[in-house]
């Protein structure tokens, strides 16, 4: 598959001699859903800021869509990437939802005659059409993140970075945003990079990069990385809930493989029950 992000020997220090990101290398394939997983302070959000040029690397290479990140290409690369931060209030510019979605379009010099159609399209996509004239700051947490995503989608990025974007939401809001993002990934082939410490979100991705103290500890399919219980616990991370249930069932004598995905586990249990 085509690589849309390539990072080679990336090094970054907030303070001289204190390596926040320590010569890491990884690739992300176009159209995939990748998670960078780690506890707070592991360097996850720093990587997001480096990818969009908010921070400047000490050494190494970053390529986005085949273009190397540097001062000359910064605007070109930022046009390919949309980022949703942990606190959407920090991203709001407009007095209404409509104004906020329009902000990025105005910066792109989109024809004003075409703008309403684009705003309505993406407000509908995130189920926020009826809130276009509401103040963004008075919405619920999940609704705020939907508005932030709509504003990004309107600018047609090929990559969306979610920087702990669901960590402040209640379970219902978290589920809504995760479902929406997975839908966008599948239907529009948008590459998703999720920066999170949430093991359940990581279990639903295509690829996991496990980070600790600015270094990649492990990477691969979720089924590989998230079944390493000892490694996860050593990094102050829990195993997926489906893993715990699977192992508990095995101890009860039920012949079942170890799952990390709850939906797959439930499906398997239903199959076993129907055979009885």
**What local confidence, expressed as pLDDT, does residue 171 receive?**
86
Angstrom distance (rounded) from CA 114 to CA 100: 16
**What local confidence, expressed as pLDDT, does residue 276 receive?**
62
Task: Give the number of other Cβ atoms within 10 Å of residue 244's Cβ.
Answer: 13
Written as one string, the DSSP assignment of 29-96 is ETT-EEEEE--TTSSHHHHHHHHTTSS--SEEEEEETTEE-STTTHHHHHTTEEEE-S-GGGG--SSS
Which residues, at least 6 apart from 128, have a Cβ–Cβ distance to it below 8 Å? Answer: 97, 143, 146, 147, 150
Question: Among candidates 26, 2, 47, 74, which has minimal Cα distance to 194?
Answer: 47
Task: Please state the rounded mean pLDDT for residues 38-50.
Answer: 91
User: What would the pLDDT profile of 130-161 be if each residue is shown by its tens digit?
Assistant: 999 999 888 988 888 888 888 888 888 999 99
Q: Are 57 and 10 in contact (CB under 8 A)?
A: yes
**What local confidence, expressed as pLDDT, does residue 108 receive?**
84
C-alpha to C-alpha distances, 224 to 30, 124, 150, 212, 258, nearest whole angstrom? 21, 37, 33, 17, 11
**What local confidence, expressed as pLDDT, does residue 241 receive?**
93
Read off the pTM: 0.89
Angstrom distance (rounded) from CA 92 to CA 33: 26
Lowest mean pLDDT among 30-44, 69-83, 91-105: 91-105
Which residues, at least 6 apart from 163, have a Cβ–Cβ distance to it below 8 Å? Answer: 44, 45, 48, 83, 84, 85, 86, 195
Task: Give the number of other Cβ atoms within 10 Å of residue 132's Cβ.
Answer: 19
User: What would the pLDDT profile of 200-221 be if each residue is shown by its tens digit?
Assistant: 999 999 999 999 999 999 999 9
User: What would the pLDDT profile of 164-185 be if each residue is shown by its tens digit?
Assistant: 888 878 888 888 888 888 998 9
**What local confidence, expressed as pLDDT, does residue 166 receive?**
84
Lowest mean pLDDT among 6-15, 29-38, 126-135, 139-148: 139-148
């Amino acid at each position: 598959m085509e690589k849309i992000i390539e990072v080679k020997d990336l090094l970054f220090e907030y303070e001289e001699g204190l390596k926040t990101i320590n010569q890491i290398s990884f690739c992300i394939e176009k159209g995939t859903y990748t998670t960078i997983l780690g506890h707070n302070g592991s360097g996850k959000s720093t990587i997001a800021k480096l990818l969009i040029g908010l921070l400047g690397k000490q050494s190494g290479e970053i390529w986005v869509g085949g273009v190397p990140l540097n001062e000359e290409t910064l605007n070109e690369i930022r046009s390919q990437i949309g980022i949703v931060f942990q606190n959407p209030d920090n991203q709001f510019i407009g007095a209404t939802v409509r104004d906020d979605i329009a902000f990025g379009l105005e910066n792109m010099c989109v024809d004003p005659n075409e703008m309403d159609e684009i705003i309505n399209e993406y407000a509908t996509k995130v189920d926020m059409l009826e809130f276009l004239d509401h103040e963004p700051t008075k919405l619920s947490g999940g609704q705020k993140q939907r508005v932030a995503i709509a504003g990004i989608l309107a600018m047609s990025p090929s990559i969306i970075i979610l920087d702990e974007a669901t960590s402040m939401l209640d379970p219902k809001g978290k589920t809504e945003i995760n479902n929406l993002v997975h839908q966008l990934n599948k239907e529009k082939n948008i590459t998703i990079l999720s920066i999170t410490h949430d093991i359940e979100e990581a279990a639903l991705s295509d690829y996991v990069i496990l980070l600790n103290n600015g270094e990649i500890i492990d990477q691969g399919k979720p089924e590989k990385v998230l079944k390493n219980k000892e490694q996860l616990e050593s990094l102050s991370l829990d195993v997926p809930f489906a893993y715990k249930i699977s192992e508990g069932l095995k101890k009860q004598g039920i012949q079942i493989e170890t799952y990390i995905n709850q939906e797959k586990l439930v499906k398997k249990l239903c199959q076993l029950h129907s055979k009885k």
